[in-house]
Amino acid sequence: MIAVVDAVQTRVVATLHGSLPMGGFVANAPIHALTAPLPAFDDAMQPAERTDIDLGGPLAFGIDNIISEAEADRIIALTEQMGYRPEAPGIQTAPGMRMNKSVHWVADAALIQRIFARIGPLLPPQIDGDTLHPQLSQRLNMYRYDDNDVFNRHTDGDWPGFGLSADGTQMVEWPGLRSKLTMLLYLNGPEQGVLGGNTRLFRPDGGAVDVTPRKGAALFFRHGFGRGSVLHEGARVLGEVPKYVARINVLYTQQG
């Protein structure tokens, strides 16, 4: 059961055109933020642990024990309070590709810093000559997969970093940074009743590796539109229990 988030206030910090699953756009799709930080994680957690995934060249790996089950439940309840919608703000996908629901928010810096503190030592310190930035982008792209929802085969684009203005009222872009890794943070999985919903990573030789969502764990892979980017899909979810996942961007400082 997902706990109700009590006394958590949110505000809209940006609005963008939002793309719909079957094409077309909605004006003024909201991006949210909290008016106060979320409480800290549970302290009694096992150390984060990385497992590399062999794709025959492209970079991919998983990290377990990133957030607690209580923290995952809190994020699900919070984003349900914000409201999942068919449109995804600032995202452009081909008709029929992203067949799920979305809500975007700019997480408070303290939450993102706690996550980075657990995973930072396990991330590549450099990619393509660019250096790992010591903070994740605070803009989280949340997806809910209801019965029969799917995210068909695609490659993730790269992104700048985003945070909040000093007064917390606006989303701002961070200069000199670009993402190089997708982080898919799983907020639930089969142990919570999700049927289907694996993330399938495609190998250059035509094979594939399926990754099963695990609550509190994350999958990382190279993105952008270079040769090393990982083609992937979010497999169809079936049944009454939705799958929840957050896409977070791992940032690197651009050289030159």
The pLDDT-based confidence of 42 (bands split at 50, 70, 90) is: low
The Cα angle at residue 119 between residues 178 and 31, in degrees rounded to 5: 50
Structure tokens at 80: 């349900």
Residue (of 146, 121, 106) closest to 21 by Cα position: 146
> If pLDDT is split at 50, 70 and 90, which confidence band does 4 have?
very low
Q: Of 256, 230, 221, nearest to 129 (Cα)?
A: 256
**Counting beta carbons within 10 angstroms of the beta carbon of residue 146, is it exposed (0 to 12), middle (13 to 18) or buried (19 or more)?**
middle
β-pairing, 243-253 vs 208-211, is: unpaired
pLDDT tens digits, 121-141: 999 999 999 999 999 999 999
* Residues, the chain: 256
Contact between 66 and 216 under an 8 Å Cβ cutoff? The reply is: yes
Assess whether pLDDT exceeds 90 at residue 164.
yes
By percentage, how much of the chain surpasses pLDDT 90?
88
Burial of 7 (0-12, 13-18, 19+ CB in 10 A): exposed
For residue 54, pLDDT beyond 90: yes
Other CB atoms within 10 Å distance of the CB of residue 170:
16
Q: What is the DSSP string of 67-118?
A: S-HHHHHHHHHHHHHH--BS-EET----TTTEESEEEEEE--HHHHHHHHHH
Give pLDDT, residue 7. 57
- Residue 249 CA to residue 22 CA, distance in Å, equals 25
Confidence of residue 165 (pLDDT cuts 50, 70, 90): very high
Cβ-in-10-Å burial (0-12, 13-18, 19+) of 192 comes to buried
Report the share of the chain in percent with pLDDT over 70.
96
Instruction: Determine phi and psi for 142, rounding to 5 degrees.
Output: -95, 140
178-210 pLDDT, tens digit each? 999 999 999 999 999 999 999 999 999 999 999
Lowest mean pLDDT among 6-10, 64-68, 210-214: 6-10
Cα separation, 173 vs 106, whole angstroms: 11
- Mean pLDDT, the chain, as a whole number? 93
DSSP H helices in the chain: 69-82, 109-119
Instruction: Flag whether pLDDT at 147 surpasses 60.
Output: yes
* Whether residue 31 has pLDDT greater than 50: yes
pLDDT digits (tens, 9 = 90+) for 76-111: 999 999 999 999 999 989 999 999 999 999 999 999
| pLDDT computed for residue 37 by the predictor | 82
Query: Sorting pLDDT into bands at 50, 70 and 90, what band is 225?
Result: confident
Residue type at position 207: G
Give me the pLDDT at residue 6, please. 54
Structure tokens belonging to residue 191: 């142990």
Q: Is the pLDDT of residue 211 over 70?
A: yes
- pLDDT for residue 255: 79
